[in-house]
Structure 1
Amino acid sequence: MRKLVIGMAMASTALASPALARDGQWYVELGGGPMLIEDVEFDVDNGTGEITADTQEGYDFGGVVGYDFGAFRLEAEASYREGDVDAISATVGLPRDVAPNQTGPGTFDAAGDVNVLSFMLNGLFDFGPDDGLQGFAGAGIGVARTDAQASIDRRYPQVVDDSDTGLAWQLLAGVRAPLSDSWDVGLRYRMFTAENVDLVDQIGRNLDGKFRSHSILGTLTYNFGGEPDLPPPPPVVQTPPPPVVTPPPVVTPPAPPPCNKGPYIVFFEWDQSDITPEAATILNNAVSAYANCGMASVMLAGHTDTSGSQRYNDGLAKRRNAEVTSYLAGRGIPSDRISSEAFGENQLRVPTADGVRELQNRRVEVNYGPNAGM
């Protein structure tokens, strides 16, 4: 059973691939599942003997409140775990009948349980995309109250009935995947350790030990501020320039065709800078219109929506400008006539709250004119 639990945890971490999680959001999570407790070994009176509690499988459940900083998450956790004691081995005598009578050393069937209530602070690193399977790993530290009750026979007094509170730590790993913009499901492995558990047995001897368990927890997470399911905005139709009418041959020469200065607006998929087929059609119109503008300067203004950090969005706006520059230069517009400025999420076409994906804000605007590139 123990090898199975550890193997499942290792398999869950192997599914991860590098990326990040739900940026800038609070979340709550509930989890529960089976637990395996390592045998608890107690030193008696600083090494005069040893008492070992042979434990069975148990259960582990709890909840967390966390905040997602991007690739790193911070959690406050409360959890409870419990498992039964089915045997006790001792190199010293155990309480029997009425204290101070004792058994001799040996192994005895036992009844009782060990339970731990803990409060932890966890730090987790995420690996993988927001919209797919995502892995994580981390650790936590806090305090735990460990309570042990066990007797070797119902006719005899309990070997131990005591509790202690002290330092605890844990290692965590797992995977999660989105069900919707707000809900995630996952699988979490936990190795929990309560250090220096100091108890007193029923005849007054000091017992010094350590509690350690391994758990596999199914989790359900709610993310506050998830993006709502909104219908996509209607596509923006760019009106082509009016056809040029050539006047009949008269004394006055025909007027030159007008320079359509724009703006020519192209839109992008979320977190992308690739030129879409719709954007290519609009840019082709811009290239055709440039022939009527002489050696006019070209100005590109790159924008993003409010999802993601300001720093990331500034870089994304620059990449979108670079893709449009490459497209125009490859179709005959001199690259030295093209200049660009990245505004990131600072000039929204459609005002939204922070963290909202909006197609009409993910754009590059192309303008022609004598001062457009200045």
Structure 2
Amino acid sequence: MRKLAVTLALATTALSTPALARDDSWYVGVEGGAMLVEDISFDIGAAKDAGTVDHRAGWDVGGTIGYDFGGFRLEAEVGYRQAFVNGYRSTVTTPFVNSNNLIQNAPAGNYDYAGGKTSALSFMVNAMLDFGEDDGIQGFVGGGAGVARVSSEIGLNTRRDFLDDSDTVFAWQAIAGVRAPLSDSVDISLKYRFFNADNFNLVDVTGRNYEGRLRTHSIMGGLTFNFGGPEPEPEPVPAPTPAPAWTPPPEPAPQPTPTVVCTPGPYIVFFDWDKSDITPEAAGILDNAISNYQSCGNASVMLAGHADRSGAASYNVGLSQRRADSVKAYLSSRGIPNGVIGTEAFGESQPRVATADGVRELQNRRVEVTYGPGSGN
């Protein structure tokens, strides 16, 4: 039995899927698996190792709640394990109930037909050490201590068990295993557990005392649900790229003849709906208008602001004035004297494209730039 237990422990460590608890967070877990029980030897009265109980393979289940401190975990555990009796042998007499419902004593010997079960309900506190990266595979080892309620029901026939009693004793356990994350909050685990409860005392139907020790070996799979934990570090926000400085257009090349041609426009720039901002497309048109202004001497500049018919007429007059003012500020910042620039707001009264009232039309949201006398009308 002990060689088998060692083999199972090594197999658990070598073949299991690892896992990882979450640092600085609470967790709860559930687990279950197969269990082997070492033969229980009972001291019966003054006779040492007088009775031995064999068991079939059993099962082991449990639940935990704990806190992960980062590399070290502390948890409370409740567990229950059970295995059925496969045989009983004794060097002293064993009581049984006969067909007349009377208690008799069977002689010492082997009773392969004996039946019953052994179980233990435990309450433990475990300390666990984790090994491995927090964001990947992780192994763990640890142990725990607490109390266990050990129960035995053993009989030579089905009329009545000669031993049907329980006792609460100190218990301890050793644990090793591996864990792996299934998601950000769920881990899967596979572990080996050795459980030991010493010196539990039971009384049979004749009043004789049985003192024994329960030792089990379990291989268990489990799921752990993690809660909370520190907030992840925020991603650094890159600094905005500064807009390139405006470079004035190059001076026009000298003309081979003294004749200078002034192009009075109009230069038309368009605006987004309900906006007076200069768009990149509008800036390109205005830069061209500024270049042509150099050939017009000190001509006056007229800016005529317009709006489409999607708003109230009074509001559109103000909006068209704001658009004209935006164009004036752009021209002034790029070398055209502020004193030669005039503005006028027409609102929705002079549409470039006729529309019904309330219709948004890009070509009507505009400012027209013209040079020279009478410009802007």
Shorter chain as denominator, the TM-score bin is 0.5 to 0.7
Aligned residue runs from structure 1 range 320-339, under 5 A:
none
Task: Please tell me whether the aligned partners of residues 56 and 84 of structure 2 are also in contact (alpha carbons under 8 angstroms).
Answer: yes
The CA deviation at 1:226 is 5.3
Task: Please tell me whether the aligned partners of residues 21 and 134 of structure 2 are also in contact (alpha carbons under 8 angstroms).
Answer: yes
Alignment match, 1:130: 134
The CA deviation at 1:153 is 1.7
Task: Please tell me whether the aligned partners of residues 182 and 227 of structure 1 are also in contact (alpha carbons under 8 angstroms).
Answer: no
Task: Please tell me whether the aligned partners of residues 181 and 226 of structure 1 are also in contact (alpha carbons under 8 angstroms).
Answer: no
The CA deviation at 1:159 is 2.2
Compared with structure 1, are the counterparts of its residues 104 and 218 closer, same or farther at alpha carbon in structure 2 (3 Å cutoff)?
same
Unpaired stretches in structure 2, ≥5 consecutive residues: 248-377
Alignment match, 2:334: none
User: In 2, Cα distance between the equivalents of 1:95 and 1:4?
Assistant: 33
- Tell me whether 1:58 sits opposite 2:58 in the alignment: yes
The CA deviation at 1:195 is 1.1
Aligned residue runs from structure 1 range 296-335, under 5 A:
none
The CA deviation at 1:158 is 1.7
SS class of match (1:181):
coil
Compared with structure 1, are the counterparts of its residues 177 and 21 closer, same or farther at alpha carbon in structure 2 (3 Å cutoff)?
same
The CA deviation at 1:101 is 2.3
User: In 2, Cα distance between the equivalents of 1:2 and 1:219?
Assistant: 24
Alignment match, 1:103: 106
Unpaired stretches in structure 1, ≥5 consecutive residues: 245-374
Larger radius of gyration: 2
Alignment match, 1:28: 28
Alignment match, 1:163: 166
User: Which amino acid is the alignment partner of residue 155 of structure 2?
Assistant: S
1:1-50 CA deviation, whole Å, 9 max, x = no partner?
8756543432444589xx98522110000000111111111001133661
User: Which amino acid is the alignment partner of residue 131 of structure 2?
Assistant: F
User: In 1, Cα distance between the equivalents of 2:87 and 2:15?
Assistant: 38
User: In 2, Cα distance between the equivalents of 1:22 and 1:143?
Assistant: 28
User: In 2, Cα distance between the equivalents of 1:240 and 1:133?
Assistant: 47
Aligned residue runs from structure 1 range 170-185, under 5 A:
170-185=173-188
User: In 2, Cα distance between the equivalents of 1:213 and 1:242?
Assistant: 79
User: In 1, Cα distance between the equivalents of 2:243 and 2:138?
Assistant: 45
Task: Please tell me whether the aligned partners of residues 148 and 171 of structure 2 are also in contact (alpha carbons under 8 angstroms).
Answer: yes
User: In 1, Cα distance between the equivalents of 2:175 and 2:243?
Assistant: 58
Aligned residue runs from structure 1 range 203-222, under 5 A:
203-222=206-225
1:269-314 CA deviation, whole Å, 9 max, x = no partner?
xxxxxxxxxxxxxxxxxxxxxxxxxxxxxxxxxxxxxxxxxxxxxx
Alignment match, 2:121: 117
SS class of match (1:132):
coil
The CA deviation at 1:86 is 1.4
Residue range with higher mean Cα deviation, 132-141 or 221-230 = 221-230
Task: Please tell me whether the aligned partners of residues 24 and 229 of structure 2 are also in contact (alpha carbons under 8 angstroms).
Answer: no
Alignment match, 2:80: 80
Compared with structure 1, are the counterparts of its residues 32 and 111 closer, same or farther at alpha carbon in structure 2 (3 Å cutoff)?
same
Compared with structure 1, are the counterparts of its residues 100 and 132 closer, same or farther at alpha carbon in structure 2 (3 Å cutoff)?
same
Aligned residue runs from structure 1 range 348-363, under 5 A:
none
1:195-243 CA deviation, whole Å, 9 max, x = no partner?
1110011111111110010111111000001578999676555559979
Compared with structure 1, are the counterparts of its residues 227 and 9 closer, same or farther at alpha carbon in structure 2 (3 Å cutoff)?
farther
Compared with structure 1, are the counterparts of its residues 40 and 4 closer, same or farther at alpha carbon in structure 2 (3 Å cutoff)?
closer
User: Which amino acid is the alignment partner of residue 213 of structure 1?
Assistant: T
TM-score (norm 1): 0.59
User: In 1, Cα distance between the equivalents of 2:70 and 2:198?
Assistant: 32
1:129-160 CA deviation, whole Å, 9 max, x = no partner?
112110000000000000100111224x4220
Task: Please tell me whether the aligned partners of residues 52 and 89 of structure 2 are also in contact (alpha carbons under 8 angstroms).
Answer: yes
Residue range with higher mean Cα deviation, 31-40 or 91-100 = 91-100
User: In 2, Cα distance between the equivalents of 1:47 and 1:172?
Assistant: 34
Compared with structure 1, are the counterparts of its residues 49 and 217 closer, same or farther at alpha carbon in structure 2 (3 Å cutoff)?
closer
SS class of match (1:51):
strand
SS class of match (1:78):
strand
Alignment match, 1:336: none
Q: 1:152 aligns with which of 149, 156, 181?
A: 156
User: In 2, Cα distance between the equivalents of 1:191 and 1:164?
Assistant: 20
Task: Please tell me whether the aligned partners of residues 96 and 155 of structure 2 are also in contact (alpha carbons under 8 angstroms).
Answer: no
- Tell me whether 1:140 sits opposite 2:153 in the alignment: no
User: In 2, Cα distance between the equivalents of 1:237 and 1:12?
Assistant: 54
Runs (4+) off by over 6 Å = 227-234, 240-244
Alignment match, 1:321: none
Task: Please tell me whether the aligned partners of residues 24 and 230 of structure 2 are also in contact (alpha carbons under 8 angstroms).
Answer: no
TM-score (norm 2): 0.58
Alignment match, 1:41: 41
Alignment match, 1:202: 205
User: In 2, Cα distance between the equivalents of 1:158 and 1:127?
Assistant: 48
